[in-house]
Structure 1
Amino acid sequence: MTELSNYKKPPKTLTFRELIIHEDDNYVIISKPPFVSSLPERTKDKAISIQQMAKEEYDDIQLCHRLDKETSGALVLAKNSEAYRNMAIQFEDRQVKKEYHAVVNGVHDLDSISVFLPISVLKDGTAVRIDKTAGKLAETIFFTEKSFQKHTLVRCYPITGRMHQIRVHLQCLNAPIVCDPTYGGDFIYLSQIKRKFNLKMDTEELPLIKRVALHAHKIAFRDLTGSVVEFTAPYPKDFEALVKQLNKHSS
């Protein structure tokens, strides 16, 4: 297996301000980069988190939800208690609409395919499994955005918000996310998709993306006025480059 631990690090220079895609009196919506935790980790290296970065800019700001460390995309923070309560109620009532994009192994034709399978967290807390006896309700709806030679770009709509829900539900469809060995996802290499690929001697080929290829692309909710607002987080460089290569060599 390719060793990627040396590559799974946040950018050396990262400021909270450059992550913002929208700000008003009540909310800040950011595009979270990969390899940055939403909340502080219980590790010795004291890696920076989104929460820590936000607290340096605002006194009372709170995260309204989380994204996995490797997952990039739209993340909502509340600037006051009323705004936080507004979001908490919508999450509890499953009124927040989220759209994720994932690149998965294999070619799949998914047209409003719903996976309705309960999930339980493993004892060590690092992964989940399908558990029809004691698992918690979980549902995700999937659509094929674009098919390539050996991979598929998928739109994912989680109805519930369980840990690793999208990842394990895609595994159930035999469509694991690339670079996600926890749930059966293989790495993706240029040599797999490019004809007449030549690798220089004594050179190790690295994957086209060095993390779970999952991106929180859009989020929609009701603001304090009751109006529905929607925000889009553009693909980060690594995800954009992956899709570009798949498009380029998909003929």
Structure 2
Amino acid sequence: MQPTKRSLNDSGSFDELLDAEVKQAKKIQAEKLKRRKLEDSDNTIKKKGALKLRDEKGFKVRTIESNKNGRKRKQEDPEYEVVIENNLRIVKPYYFTYKTFCKQRWREKKLIDIFVTEFRDRKESYYRKCIEEGSVFINDKIANIDSIVHDGNLITHKIHRHEPPVMATPVKIVREDEDILVIDKPSGIPVHPTGRYRFNSVTKMLERQLGYTVHPCNRLDKLTSGLMFLAKTPKGADVIGDQLKAREVSKEYIARVVGEFPTDKIVVEKPLRTYDPRVALNKVCGIEEDGAKHAKTVFNRISFDGQTSIVRCKPLTGRQHQIRVHLQYLGHPIANDPIYSNVSIWSSTLGKDGIADFEEISKGLHEIGKTKPVQSWFYRDIQGEILSDENCPECDTELCSKPDPAELTLWLHALKYETKSHSDENVDESNTNWSYRTQYPEWALEGHHKYIDLIKDFQGKDQLKTLLVYNNEIISESVIEPHSDLISCTIQNYINGSDCNTIPNGTVLYCNFIESINNLDEVADKLANISAVVIPAKKIEQDEIKKDNEILKPIIEKIIEVPELVA
């Protein structure tokens, strides 16, 4: 019996909307390619009488225009010092001249209102004092309390900057060539400078580590970990960036969610919109609402540990917080999500079906990090970052307590990205056809260790032990000869000892290794019910399996390797 499929669909026009989005992306790509061909090969490009600065790699350099001479100059970074403390990366406070052009949502608003709503780490009194003392400029002119910000305005403010700590987890390099750097991004670190973060960002950390600048091709939320593509050259940025925009890349994430997730394949097709950008709150909505964007995600359960489920997530679009909001809509938010699984804010229903008083939700989230620490369904008593009673002696800024590392981790990981035309037998050397994946994070493996230990500790002479586990219970134990058809024998042993003619959908198989499946035709329908094949790490080489054991391909993507725990 094949697993069933459930679909939650809000619009019958998803394919049409996606097709239109892809066509628009390809049109923009063609126009960009045409412009590139017309550009000079120098590191400065003339356009409308202005000069666009480029670095030695050919990237456009972020510039701030000077009204005095009409030239553009590069934004310079100050010196800064980093310390590691309690697994946190701490940038010591430093002086920084903050310069930014007016964002669309700031247009025709008071400067003081922008500071208060957008930069929530300081009180209104601090910003009023800075403006009144003449340390804030708009287009090189001293601003005042009544100043209005218009489109094109440059806001300048020299501040004593206090960056929040981030996790001190090293950035793992998955692959590198002359154009692209593929990394496994740690959780809790923003991709690029934003808001209160500058040097505690992935791009700035890598710039310090590698000695050159890289540019993100895809974006992950600050708390999300996993695969990221960083361009070393404009060519690399174009290849990856264009494929992502044209939806030519399939993405696979894993999440650890609240409760027992259904074993059926579930498709959520619900538009999303941003409700409050100040606290990054997004919600499911109707496609007719302002700001609505079509969104679709496919979910499959991997395992259930009695409290939380590990779920495979495949987003077909790339909206902000798409996976997080769609999981919340299903009633299974990510178990440690500080926005979408905070019981004290959402109550026990946790926003299931998108039902909530979002005005009240927004108010509650605004207090997080100020008067209330981060909380989630899994971590309900974190004593994390909030405003303390101390002030900086240098700038009188209210200081925050140190964050708890638990609040800097989200159980959402970008596991695998590959081009939809990717073929294992014929990988294009031009880098237009590729597949990359990372290892599973430890939070996704915790529930597997006890079962792996059982099969590893088995002392049978010239025999192997396998387990079938369903809903956190062992439903079958088998002792099998080493060179037997391990998977088929395990499944058949369960069937022989039960009243069923197949295994339950969502069953996890634990074994020491995989060699072959001799009678695939007989077990193909039963293999579909296996949600994961879990083995000890370094017991299997997946690339060799794909090459030498073509018959195993139906379950290759379900293999999870569990490394030994480090004492």
TM-score (normalised: structure 1): 0.77
Q: Percent identity?
A: 30
Mapped contact 1:9–1:35 kept (Cα < 8 A): no
Residue in structure 1 matched with residue 308 of structure 2 by the alignment: 151
Q: Which stretch of the first structure deviates more once superposed, 46-55 or 75-84?
A: 46-55
Residue in structure 2 matched with residue 95 of structure 1 by the alignment: 248
Residue in structure 1 matched with residue 109 of structure 2 by the alignment: none
Residue in structure 1 matched with residue 282 of structure 2 by the alignment: 128
For 2:249 and 2:446, locate their aligned partners in 1 and report how far apart those are by CA, in whole Å: 28
Q: Extract unaligned runs of 5+ from structure 1.
A: 1-5, 190-206
Residue in structure 2 matched with residue 212 of structure 1 by the alignment: 410
Cα separation, partners in 2 of 1:246 and 1:142, compared to 1, 3 Å: farther
> Which aligned pairs between 1:29-178 and structure 2 lie closer than 5 A?
29-43=182-196, 46-56=198-208, 57=210, 59=212, 61-125=214-278, 126-132=280-286, 133-134=288-289, 135-178=292-335
Mapped contact 2:253–2:413 kept (Cα < 8 A): yes
Higher relative helix content: 2
Partner SS, residue 87 of structure 1: helix
For 1:243 and 1:25, locate their aligned partners in 2 and report how far apart those are by CA, in whole Å: 39
Mapped contact 2:253–2:412 kept (Cα < 8 A): yes
Residue in structure 1 matched with residue 377 of structure 2 by the alignment: 187
Cα separation, partners in 2 of 1:42 and 1:21, compared to 1, 3 Å: same
Letter in 2 for 1:30: I
Letter in 2 for 1:55: E
Mapped contact 2:310–2:444 kept (Cα < 8 A): no
Cα separation, partners in 2 of 1:106 and 1:39, compared to 1, 3 Å: same
Q: Extract unaligned runs of 5+ from structure 2.
A: 1-86, 89-163, 343-375, 380-403, 423-427, 453-470, 474-567
Larger radius of gyration: 2
Residue in structure 2 matched with residue 198 of structure 1 by the alignment: none
> Shift in Å at residue 243 of structure 1?
4.2
Q: Which stretch of the first structure deviates more once superposed, 214-223 or 70-79?
A: 214-223
Corresponding pairs, count = 224
Cα separation, partners in 2 of 1:81 and 1:234, compared to 1, 3 Å: same
For 1:50 and 1:167, locate their aligned partners in 2 and report how far apart those are by CA, in whole Å: 22
Mapped contact 2:305–2:447 kept (Cα < 8 A): no
Letter in 1 for 2:201: S
> Shift in Å at residue 63 of structure 1?
0.6
Mapped contact 2:190–2:201 kept (Cα < 8 A): yes
Partner SS, residue 222 of structure 2: coil
> Shift in Å at residue 145 of structure 1?
0.9
> Shift in Å at residue 228 of structure 1?
2.6
Mapped contact 2:181–2:229 kept (Cα < 8 A): yes
For 1:138 and 1:145, locate their aligned partners in 2 and report how far apart those are by CA, in whole Å: 23
Mapped contact 2:417–2:436 kept (Cα < 8 A): yes
TM-score (normalised: structure 2): 0.36
Mapped contact 1:28–1:77 kept (Cα < 8 A): yes
Mapped contact 1:58–1:79 kept (Cα < 8 A): no
Mapped contact 1:128–1:164 kept (Cα < 8 A): yes
> Shift in Å at residue 105 of structure 1?
0.7
1:20-59 deviation digits (Å, cap 9, x = unpaired): 011112211101111111011221x645111112334264
Partner SS, residue 188 of structure 1: coil
> Shift in Å at residue 136 of structure 1?
0.5
Letter in 1 for 2:190: S
Query: What root-mean-square deviation, in Å, do the aligned CA atoms of Structure 1 and Structure 2 show?
Result: 3.0
Partner SS, residue 67 of structure 1: coil
Q: Which stretch of the first structure deviates more once superposed, 228-237 or 77-86?
A: 228-237
